[in-house]
Chains A and B, each alone.
Chain A
Amino acid sequence: MLDIRIPIGLLFTVLGVLVTAYGLLTNQNVNLWSGLLMLVFGVVMLLTVKKKKV
């Protein structure tokens, strides 16, 4: 079965990059810290995915 941490990690990494970039461009920084929070959460999720043994 698909490991749910993969879609969660990917989604928040993508959204994190997007919102952080938007926060930097526009720079109520909330985009910046929300984006970074999502990015960190997404990356941590992806790092916890267990690799399948071949």
Chain B
Amino acid sequence: MGNAIFHLQWIDYAIMIIYFMFVLGIGWMLKRYMKDANAFLEAGRSMPAWVAGLAFISTNLGALEVMGMTGSGAKYGMLTTHFYWIGAIPAMVFLAIFMMPFYYGSKARSVPEYLKLRFDEKTRGLNAILFAVMTVLASGISMYALALLMEKVLGWDFNLSLWLSAAIVLAYTYLGGLSSAIYNEVLQFFIIVIGLLPIVVLSLHDVGGWSGLKESLAPIVAEKGFAGDTFTTTWKYTGTAAGNPMGVEWYGILFGLGFVLSFGYWCTNFLIVQRAMAAKSTTAARNTPLIGAIPKMLIPFLIIVPGIVALVLMNKTGSGFTIMENGKANYDLTIIKLLEYYLPTGVLGLGITALLASFMSGMAGNVSAFNTVWTYDIYQSYIRPATNDKAADAKHYLKVGRLATVFGVLVSIAAAYLAGLFGNIMDFLQTIFSMINAPLFAVIFLGMFWKRTTGHGAFIGLLGGFLVALLHHGLTVPAGATTLVKGGWISVVHTYPVEMAQNFWTAIFACAASALITVGISVATKQQKTDDELRGLVYSLTPKTQEAHVTWYKRTNTLAIFVLVMMVVLSILFW
């Protein structure tokens, strides 16, 4: 306890306890509505667009994201906003306009099930199994990071933090299913905004506002060998890799991050798409990513700007602000140190609660996606198929969904302990499993927009793209890598200046290979599905969504234009 960074007072604990009472209370209140598998695993497709939209963005706003991006703010400055603007918004708009009508309209209950309807069973099986493993891995790593952080920051016992957080997540997801996870994600979104807002205000006030920040940064950035305003601009110095601290050029950002990586993540990751699939109508489902896009664009001001202020504080004589740990800068500690530096007792409890909430929300999101894929795509497909008695099936799969929740949390706990024992191996596994996103996007994109795409083409394309990603990762390393986890585990044929460039190119190669293989095999094989079977699954065979009855400002196209204009304006303001 003596080495803890924070020593919380009664008020901080009171805030924390009240928040978690509400979290559990929501689960308890929703329990009565969980009468069948549809209500438990799909939230009964009843969520208003604004609720689904905030949950959509909140699922992505886990604590590892908050901590990592604040650290990136200190490391790369406003260049980090590429992950929030060009690296997210076009993909979210594309998902809303072109993909949600198929995901939602096909009545598929998950992304793997869409693959089954559009292609075949083997393509669904491959995606479902990879996704299920990936979600429990991610949940376990998040759980491990939470317990480790609580030990370091608050002096709490590692095992106590791990089991307590798992118990809270299990309680509210077991009671209220996906609805409970979504409701708590919305609650978490607001607690994060309000919990971190004082840091933004106090830190900017401290350095004399935005203009004061730019002035203070100029000499610090110049010392690093970059132009004085590199850390407060986004595109200006991306003409060459050497001109910016990220070490990537504009076309790498545009195609690697803005196209392949972001479309692979936002358009095909069931963890994210599930929130939109829980919306109450096709229009609500399409508007979900667009409503989420608005706060998404503003999040950098909440977590990246304080990170940039932290860089100024680190270089300010006598500030006492440091993120050094054992002689090395630990950028993940940036947000923690900012909480310590700026927040007094009271709002400090709010900030810590915000971090805890984001950890748990990340876990609950993974667990609720896992139990859906397990129940519908693995159990119902391969272990106990549906019978003619729909009512009995609905009850049976509700029970299985609940058991899958318990199983998912227990496996996550095991993964958390494994992460403690074999941290590098777990990181490596997570890197490997996330490589499926880019080829999956290529396959789903072709499936939606080219009716000739066949099941064999999709399966081999998905597998081929995944293997190309593995091969590229095994043959390249980022400069300065000290472990095989970062790549080069086959042989080193190319060294990238930074890990981010390696990630971008892994995704580009995987996506391109997957698309080429899928097209090639599809041309060589016979289409097994008739046009009737593909209606509602393929763009050219599906009637276009009509929105004449929807008020103009609630129409998907109106929202999409607003979101894109907002992104362009922000990009110009911080060019």
Per DSSP, are chain B's interface residues mostly helix, strand or loop, or mixed?
helix
Residues of A close to B15: CB separation below 8 A: 15, 18-19
* Most-contacted residue by chain B among A12, A19, A26 (CB, 10 A): A19
CB distance from A14 to the nearest CB of B (A): 6
Q: How far is the CA of A23 from the CA of B201 in the complex (A)?
A: 17
A11-B18, A18-B18, A34-B197 are contacts. A4–B51 as well, Cβ < 8 Å? yes
> Count of A-B contacts with CB under 8 A?
76
CB distance from A47 to the nearest CB of B (A): 16
Q: Any chain B CB within 8 A of the CB of A8?
A: yes
A11-B19, A11-B22, A34-B197 are contacts. A1–B46 as well, Cβ < 8 Å? yes
Q: Contact between A30 and B30 (Cβ–Cβ < 8 Å)?
A: no
Q: Contact between A41 and B194 (Cβ–Cβ < 8 Å)?
A: yes
Known contacts A2-B33, A15-B18, A18-B14; 9 further A-B pairs (Cβ under 8 A) = A1-B179, A2-B29, A7-B26, A8-B186, A8-B187, A11-B187, A18-B18, A19-B346, A22-B345
Q: Any chain A CB within 8 A of the CB of B190?
A: yes
Residues of B close to A34: CB separation below 8 A: 194, 197-198, 346-347, 350
**Which residue of chain A lies nearest to B25 when distances are taken between CB atoms in the complex?**
A7
Q: 8 shortest A-B CB distances, which residue pairs?
A: A31-B346, A11-B22, A22-B346, A34-B347, A30-B198, A2-B29, A22-B11, A4-B183
**Which residue of chain B lies nearest to A20 when distances are taken between CB atoms in the complex?**
B346
Residues of A close to B197: CB separation below 8 A: 34, 37
Q: How large is the interface on B (under 10, 10 to 19, 20 to 34, 35 or more residues)?
A: 20 to 34
Q: How far is the CA of A37 from the CA of B346 in the complex (A)?
A: 14
Which of A10, A18, A23, A31 has a CB less than 8 Å from the CB of B22?
A10
Which B178-205 residues have C-beta < 8 A from chain A?
Answer: 179, 183, 186-187, 190, 194, 197-198, 201-202
**Which residue of chain B lies nearest to A23 when distances are taken between CB atoms in the complex?**
B346
Q: Residues of A at under 8 Å CB distance from B?
A: 1-2, 4, 7-8, 10-12, 14-15, 18-19, 22-23, 26, 28, 30-31, 34-35, 37-38, 41
CB distance from B42 to the nearest CB of A (A): 13
Residues of A close to B343: CB separation below 8 A: 30
Q: How far is the CA of A6 from the CA of B25 in the complex (A)?
A: 12
A1-B46, A7-B187, A8-B186 are contacts. A26–B347 as well, Cβ < 8 Å? no
Q: Any chain A CB within 8 A of the CB of B342?
A: yes
Residues of B close to A19: CB separation below 8 A: 11, 15, 346-347, 350
Residues of A close to B22: CB separation below 8 A: 7, 10-11
Q: How far is the CA of A45 from the CA of B144 in the complex (A)?
A: 35
* Most-contacted residue by chain B among A2, A30, A37 (CB, 10 A): A30
Q: Contact between B198 and A8 (Cβ–Cβ < 8 Å)?
A: no
**Which residue of chain B lies nearest to A37 when distances are taken between CB atoms in the complex?**
B194
18 contacts between A and B (CB under 8 A): A2-B29, A2-B30, A2-B183, A4-B183, A4-B186, A7-B26, A10-B22, A11-B22, A14-B18, A18-B11, A19-B350, A22-B11, A22-B345, A30-B344, A30-B347, A31-B347, A38-B194, A41-B190
